[in-house]
Amino acid sequence: MGLKERLTFLSQLRADFVHTGAIQPSSRFLATAMTRPLRERSPGDARILEIGPGTGPVTRAIVRSMGDGDELECYEINSDFAQYLSRTVREDPAFTEARNRIRIHNAPAQEVEAGEGFDFVVCSAPLNNFDAGTIEDILRSSFAAMRPGGTFTFFGYVVFPALRALFARHATLAKLAEAQAVKNDWIMRHRKGSQVVLLNLPPARVHHLEGLSH
* pLDDT tens digit sequence for 65-84: 999 999 999 999 999 999 99
- The more confident residue out of 126 and 141 is 141
Alpha carbon of 153 to those of 13, 41, 44, 122, 163: distances in Å? 23, 14, 20, 5, 24
Put simply, whether the predicted model's pTM sits higher than 0.85 gets the answer: yes
Residue 179's SS3 state is helix
- The residue ranges of every structural domain in the chain are 3-208
Query: What's the CATH class of domain 3-208?
Result: alpha beta
Separation between Cα atoms, residue 97 and residue 108, nearest integer Å: 27
Separation between Cα atoms, residue 162 and residue 14, nearest integer Å: 22
Chain segment 18-64, per-residue pLDDT in tens = 444 455 788 999 999 999 999 999 999 999 999 999 999 999 999 99
Phi-psi region of 98 (alpha: psi -120 to 50; beta: other; left: phi over 0): alpha
